[in-house]
Amino acid sequence: MKKRKLKRFAVVGIYLSVFLTVAGATFLVSQSLQEKEPNQEVVDYVDDSIIQEELPVVSEETLKMIHPFTDTRVTTAKYFYDYQGEKETQEKAIIYHEDTYIQNSGMDFKGDDAFDVVAVLGGTVLDVRDDELMGKTVEIKHDNGAYISVYQSLSEVNVKKGDTLSQGQVIGKSGENMIDKEMGNHLHFELYQDGVIVDPAKHFDQTVQEKKAS
Reading the chain (214 residues) residue by residue, the pLDDT tens digits are: 444 554 554 444 555 555 555 555 555 545 555 554 444 444 333 344 333 444 344 555 678 999 999 999 999 999 998 877 777 777 777 777 667 777 888 999 999 999 999 999 999 999 999 998 899 999 999 988 899 999 999 999 999 999 999 999 999 999 999 888 888 999 999 999 999 999 999 999 998 865 655 5
Is the Cα dihedral 132, 138, 141, 142 positive or negative? negative
pLDDT of amino acid 89: 76
CA-angle at 104, arms to 101 and 106, nearest 5°: 165
Contact 132, 84 (CB under 8 A): no
Q: Phi first, then psi: what are they for 63, rounded to 5°?
A: -75, 125
152: CB partners within 8 A, 6+ apart: 106, 131, 134, 135, 136, 137, 177, 187, 188, 189, 190
pLDDT of amino acid 81: 85
Task: Report pTM.
Answer: 0.68
Contact 159, 166 (CB under 8 A): no
pLDDT of amino acid 41: 44
Q: How remote is the C-alpha of 56 from its chain's centroid?
A: 9
Q: How remote is the C-alpha of 214 from its chain's centroid?
A: 20
DSSP class of residue 5 equals P
Which residues make beta-bridge pairs with 148?
Answer: 141, 192
Which residues make beta-bridge pairs with 110?
Answer: 75, 186
Indicate the fold that domain 75-213 takes in CATH.
Glucose Permease (Domain IIA) (2.70.70)
pLDDT of amino acid 213: 56
Enumerate the domain spans of the chain. 75-213
Strand stretches in the chain, DSSP E: 75-78, 94-97, 100-103, 107-110, 116-118, 123-131, 135-142, 147-157, 164-165, 170-174, 186-193, 196-198
